[in-house]
A and B are shown apart, each in its own frame.
Chain A
Amino acid sequence: MNLTYLALELRRTIRAPRFLIFTVGFPVIFYLLFSSISGGDPDARTIIMVGMGAFGGMTATVSAGTRIAAERASGWQRQLRLTPLSGQGYLFAKGMCGMLIALGPLLLVSIIGMSTGVHLEPGQWVQVILGTWIALAPFAVLGVLIGQVATGDSVQAIGSAVFMLLSLGGGLWFPPSQMPGWMRDVAHVLPSYWYGGIGRDVVTHDLQATRTLLVLVAWTVVLALIVTRRFRADSARV
């Protein structure tokens, strides 16, 4: 756990305003747009808010990791491999940076939701914000993995494709109840389905807490093993 590294990564992210505007701006715009289309139904508005908050959080964590591809191309990864930094320490700094950045869109969408007619109990707000935030862990790791396998040229496309598929399949853009049956079956495999379910539960009241926890932990552990192994191997000149 090297906090200096985490702090540096956060500073770097904040210095890239385009990245921040993209990750924070889109979910807010989508929320305002979709919720105005949905009319006055408060439940629909809440579903859209939690979905867009989750979408923004996920986009931010995945995108934060994908910036690794450029660092690998520049040889920075090799420099890091010449320090005692372990694969776990690396993953912690990178992943935690993505998760902290994700607090931006998650909180902003919630605040805007609160001021545009979404009413929740305090406990429900905690569930929507804190629960969703903690459940970002597998996506933080996934972002790092994409950054590790993609090249500087391909990473944008791969990153976008991944978070769009995850958003769509996870029911973050429209709830799973509106999906065709085959799609709902596929969605059950995705971490984003369970992740999105945490926020949706404040309207649908159908959270399967144990199963959600197991699926998300399983995704996180498997991806983390791949990432740390990859960090050790990934030092050849690119």
Chain B
Amino acid sequence: MNMQQHRISSGVITLLAIWVCYLSFTERPAEAYLFPRIIAVFFLAFAIWTFGKALLGRSNTGVGLSYDMAVKMAPGLLVSVIYIFWAAKAFGFYTASTLTFFILVSIYDPAPHGKIGSWVKRAVITVGFIAVIYALFAVVLKVYTPRGMFL
């Protein structure tokens, strides 16, 4: 399982290295690509080496990614992607952050979902965190975050 995943990942890296190498040697002006060419050659060499070892099954595979892990992290990843790539701009930074924080804590909190006390606790933690973030970034650091429908 790990070896198969490792073959795919090292194959993707090799494709990236080929693309970087191709661009480095074909794009103009050539002078601008002098340093990237050197990097690209070593990048490609190490990528091919890693891919070759993976194909031969002689590679150190790392811990890999199990189906169980993928299922567990999927909701968190999905919520994070929606937050970063859409909700932050659409709803406004602070509103989107509040919703995301509350949803993430609710999804992964081991406390029972059936108890009102757990939900109150999650809501209090969320409000507390957003208040700290607002004080730090909006008040102290004067960071102007995108406003969407709300703040």
Is the pairing of A and B real?
no
Interface, chain B (partner A; CB < 8 A): none
